[in-house]
Chain A
């Protein structure tokens, strides 16, 4: 007996599954091409202040200082900036509980860093970018996170440090 298309074969692959896979693959390629041709503007991230702006602040109001050691040539730092640090939860936590300060390394561009940057890198033992350092208002390091981590990891790092040093958290909260 000649099998018909209506017969249920044990080794038949459902056509709908094949079609769905092909459609998904094509959509993926198209989406990647569109993203490559028209890169989206980076979403709103953390408002970092530079060292000069930070030096003009009179006291931290009891808040912890969050240093981001950053370099323009560093891809992982840029990736963290455009993904992890654009997470709304994380951004709100940083802006509410910390004084965010970006320390941009220029050793590769200018041959050496300004003395203040070198001093901070030595003090907090920064050997890679990006590195997040949470410091007490008196300058002592409270906690360090090295590398471009995900938003959950970074959120846990910040909230844990806040819980470990309650006397330094924002007195208003």
Chain B
């Protein structure tokens, strides 16, 4: 862990006013406002609210706040990547660079999302929605776990300069996000026929693909269920840890292959 890289990363994340406004609006104002509105009107929380207070919310915060913090070429100027050539021409281990970046970005994203979750829980509590302390603690841990895997995936996507790889990452992100927009359901009624069947089958295919992709690229651990269940979730834990380790290993590998020229801008 390199303290200098850590401090510079944190400073780069916190000193851009536009980023901070975006994070304040999307990360705090919108979900907290939605929560208060739904509680005041006695309505069920919307799926958008669930998204903004879950994994997708963490991804949005990290996407904006940490874009360029990993040090990708296109966003080096003024976004935290400006000292990358300097780092890489010094005897700083590149694996140390990647791990330090990952830890810092995880802490920033996890902390913001956890604070948001706690405020939302307090808003709900004010209106009579009761959550156990264990449930709130589970939400906080889950947000840090989400931040851990999403930041590892983002590091890999940003550090790899291959255009095709970056396009694949963006497409995978959108497919993953499409699957988060509605909870898994099956349409009621007798077996449809004709165009209705086609529409249903294609939607089902899209959702199952997204679910499969989600389990593969961003596996999650349901901490609340793990603490309150009779079985320890071995497969989800191993899936999570191995995916994070794999992303970090690939990130180190692609960083090791990068070269910088002293004469370049």
Contact = CB atoms under 8 A, between A and B. Distances in A.
Contacts of A146: 183, 185
A121 B222 CA distance: 31
Interface residues of B, number: 52
A141 B239 CA distance: 40
B235 A21 contact: no
Interface of B: 39, 42, 44-45, 50, 88, 91-95, 124, 127-132, 134-135, 138-139, 182-191, 222, 224-225, 228-231, 234-235, 238-239, 241-242, 245-246, 248-249, 252-253, 256
Contacts of B228: 87-90, 151
Contacts of A86: 225, 229-230
A111 B189 CA distance: 9
Contacts, number: 160
A105 B39 CA distance: 32
Given A156-B131, A160-B129, A27 B238 contact: yes
B93 A12 contact: yes
A27 B224 contact: no
A24 B242 contact: yes
Contacts of B134: 89
B41 to A, nearest CB: 10
A84 B49 CA distance: 19
5 contacts: A21-B249, A28-B242, A75-B186, A127-B189, A160-B39
